[in-house]
């Protein structure tokens, strides 16, 4: 890549932080069901962001996340009492960061790139998870869709990156582990990189990210090439 | 209910027609994987309608349905050759209708109610499935979102009902088996009825359909009450 790239915007949940790290606590609460609860919780969480955006019924990501936990628990027939509910929700403040993150973010900064998070999470949720992972200060911008009350993949959500950096989206690399998010961002006009840790199939949406790798280390090669 | 209701609009896929009836053919092709393929296909199909609507990248439901089949097959590692793909897609023209449908639709008509389908499907897809189920002539309107190029749960999709009937949504019962669809329609302003055949948990979206039942026979009691 010729150095047309000026900045990198990262999705948070699933990309920098492992949303399934809640599965261990869920497994301790509901033996044999932790992974299923974690997966169903995530599916409902994403569904609710889309449905609320399509119908202009925004509620913030903390509320959506808790609603999704309640629905997933009911669907699986699990007894989610107030204590379990609070402890599972609290995990969202201390999701595991993927191990290579901090070194890669430091390398990108030394290359002179500006960095941002562009997330569905609320500012308070993002502050907490960044602080607990020791990742404050690594980002020039922590951008939350809460400012515009529409979730990704709405255009207004992706607008936050160019607005904050002052560069057009083609000069910003957008990084996500979520196939639908990289597709939405590619449609929008970002230069996109898909962190495809599990080796998933690409979504059949008629669009392809500019780059793909197995973890953030592969992003370094992509940006530096 | 006092007789403020003038019309009934039905979702098609999942509500009048069983989308998992393709599972039998899928099972014959991919032993032990038919139900998984049918479920993954449906999830991707719905996801793609939402993503394309959020990003204003409409492709019609036939295209979205075939894309979803390709993605679901890749995700499950199944060899979807051209013949299997064509035969599975052809099933969409002859989905099984739920057995009580025709009698209930006839009863509603005898009550003087106007009837419509309001579906994500293309006009051609809806014509074919209705013809194969012997259900032509039962509906005053067959409304496809293809006319406005946005999928449910976008407001423009639900607008089709009031526009066709000439009644406000509060005087139209909207019937769907899909929890997210009844929630979207309730937000929009329809009087809603959820056909909850499997006894699913209600989506946690802060909204509740006006009525709920196990099949379309329960709709008769709801409308007549």
CB A179 within 8 A of CB A202: yes
Q: What is the pLDDT of residues B205-216, one digit of tens each?
A: 999 999 999 999
**Any idea what DSSP says for residue B211?**
E
Nearest by CB to residue B48, choosing from A59, A74, A205, is A205
Q: Quote the pLDDT of residue A3.
A: 57
Contact of A213 with A223, CB cutoff 8 Å: no
Strands B172-176 and B141-144, sheet pairing:
unpaired
Q: List, for residues A100-148, the tens digit of each pLDDT value.
A: 999 999 999 999 999 999 999 999 999 999 999 989 899 999 999 999 9
**Which chain B positions have a beta carbon within 8 Å of A187's beta carbon?**
55, 57
Contacts of B31 (CB under 8 A, 6+ apart): none
Residue of B121, B167, B122 whose CA lies nearest to B140 = B167
Please report the pLDDT score of residue B96 as a whole number: 86
Q: How many angstroms separate the CA of residue B24 from the nearest CA in chain A?
A: 24
Sign of the torsion formed by the C-alpha atoms of A141, A142, A146 and A150: positive
> Would the CB atoms of B55 and A187 count as touching at under 8 Å?
yes
- Residue range A145-198, pLDDT digits in tens: 999 999 999 999 999 999 999 999 999 999 999 999 999 999 999 999 999 999
Write the residue in A52, A71, A154 that is nearest to B201 by C-beta: A71
CB B11, CB B181: distance < 8 Å? yes
pLDDT of residue A136: 86
Q: Tell me whether the CATH fold assigned to A7-16+98-224 matches the one assigned to A20-93.
A: no
Find how far residue A73's CA is from the centre of its chain. 22
Neighboring chain B residues of A55 at a CB cutoff of 8 Å? 153-155, 184, 187-188
**A46: Cα separation from own chain's centroid:** 11
What is the chain B residue with the closest CA to A189? B55
Q: What is the mean pLDDT of residues A36-59?
A: 97
Q: What is the pLDDT of residues A172-186, one digit of tens each?
A: 999 999 999 999 999
Task: Specify the pLDDT at position B1.
Answer: 46
Identify whether the C-beta of residue A193 lies closer than 8 Å to the C-beta of residue A175: yes
* CB contact at 8 A, A189 and A169: yes
How many Cα atoms occupy the beta-carbon half-sphere of B158 within 13 Å?
A: 26
Q: Is A57 on the interface with B (CB under 8 A)?
A: yes
Of the candidates A195, A40, A174, the one whose C-alpha atom is nearest the C-alpha of residue A117 is A174
Q: Is cis: bond before B165, omega within 30 of 0?
A: no
Q: What is the DSSP string of B147-192?
A: GTT--TTSHHHHTHHHHHH-S-GGGEEEEES-HHHHHHHHHHT-EE
Instruction: For residue B155, list chain A residues with Cβ-Cβ distance below 8 A.
Output: 55-56
pLDDT at B200: 96
| B2/B41: higher pLDDT | B41
Mutate to test the interface with B, among A40, A74, A188, A204 (most CBs of B within 10 A): A204
The answer to whether residue B20 scores a pLDDT higher than 80 is no
Using a CB–CB cutoff of 8 Å, tell me whether B184 touches chain A: yes
Return the domain boundaries, chain A: 7-16+98-224, 20-93
3-state secondary structure of B114: strand
CB atoms within 10 A of CB A3: 11
B56/chain A closest Cα distance in angstroms:
9
B49-78 tens-digit pLDDT: 999 999 999 999 999 999 999 999 999 999
The residues of A assigned a catalytic role are 11
Inter-chain touch A54–B203, beta carbons under 8 Å: no
pLDDT at A1: 46
Which residues of chain A make contact with B57, given a CB cutoff of 8 A? 187, 205-206
Most confident of A169-183, B13-27, B95-109: A169-183
What kind of architecture, by CATH, is found in domain B20-93? Orthogonal Bundle (1.10)
Contact B204 A154 (CB under 8 A): no
**Cis amide bond preceding B25, omega within 30:** no
Closest Cβ–Cβ partner in A55, A153, A188 for B51 = A153
The answer to whether residues B183 and A51 touch, using CB atoms and an 8 Å cutoff, is yes
Q: Which of B52, B56, B187 sits opposite A55 (nearest CB)?
A: B187
Query: Which helix or strand (DSSP H or E) is residue B5 part of?
Result: none
H/E element holding A116?
Answer: strand A114-119
Q: Hey, are the CB atoms on B48 and A153 less than 8 Å from each other? A: no
Please, which pLDDT band fits residue A4 given cuts at 50, 70 and 90?
Answer: confident
A183 in reach of chain B (CB within 8 A): yes
Under 8 Å between Cβ of B213 and A81: no
Give the Cα separation of B126 and B112 in Å (integer). Answer: 24
Inter-chain touch A54–B59, beta carbons under 8 Å = no
**Which CATH class name applies to B7-16+98-224?**
alpha beta
Q: Distance between CA atoms of B97 and B117, rounded to whole angstroms?
A: 14
CB of B200 within 8 A of CB of A75?
A: yes
Q: Which residues contact B225 (CB under 8 A, 6 or more apart)?
A: B1
- Mean pLDDT across B72-88: 97
Distance from CA of B100 to the nearest CA of A (A): 27
Return the structure tokens found at B185: 């329609």
| B167 vs A59: CA distance, rounded Å | 30
Band (pLDDT 50/70/90 cuts) for residue B167 is: very high
Model confidence band, residue B4 (pLDDT cutoffs 50, 70, 90): confident
A71 CA to chain B: closest CA distance, Å? Answer: 6
């Amino acid at each position: 890549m010729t150095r047309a790239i000026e900045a990198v915007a990262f999705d948070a949940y699933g990309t920098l932080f492992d949303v399934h790290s809640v599965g261990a606590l869920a497994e301790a609460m509901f033996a044999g069901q932790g992974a299923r609860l974690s997966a169903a919780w995530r599916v409902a969480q994403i569904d609710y962001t889309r449905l609320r955006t399509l119908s202009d019924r925004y509620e913030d990501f903390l509320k959506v996340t808790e609603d999704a936990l309640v629905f997933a628990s009911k669907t699986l027939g699990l007894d989610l009492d107030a204590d379990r509910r609070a402890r599972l929700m609290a995990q969202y403040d201390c999701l595991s960061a993927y191990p290579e993150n901090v070194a890669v973010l430091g390398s990108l900064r030394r290359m002179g790139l500006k960095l941002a998070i562009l997330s569905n999470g609320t500012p308070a949720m993002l502050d907490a998870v960044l602080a607990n992972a020791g990742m404050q200060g690594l980002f020039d911008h922590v951008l939350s869709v809460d400012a515009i009350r529409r979730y990704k993949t709405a255009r207004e959500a992706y607008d936050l990156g160019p607005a904050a950096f002052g560069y057009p989206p083609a000069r910003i690399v957008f990084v996500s582990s979520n196939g639908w998010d990289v597709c939405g961002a590619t449609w929008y006009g970002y230069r996109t990189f898909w962190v495809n840790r599990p080796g998933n199939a690409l979504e059949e949406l008629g669009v392809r990210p500019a780059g793909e790798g197995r973890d953030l280390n592969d992003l370094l090669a992509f940006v530096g090439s």
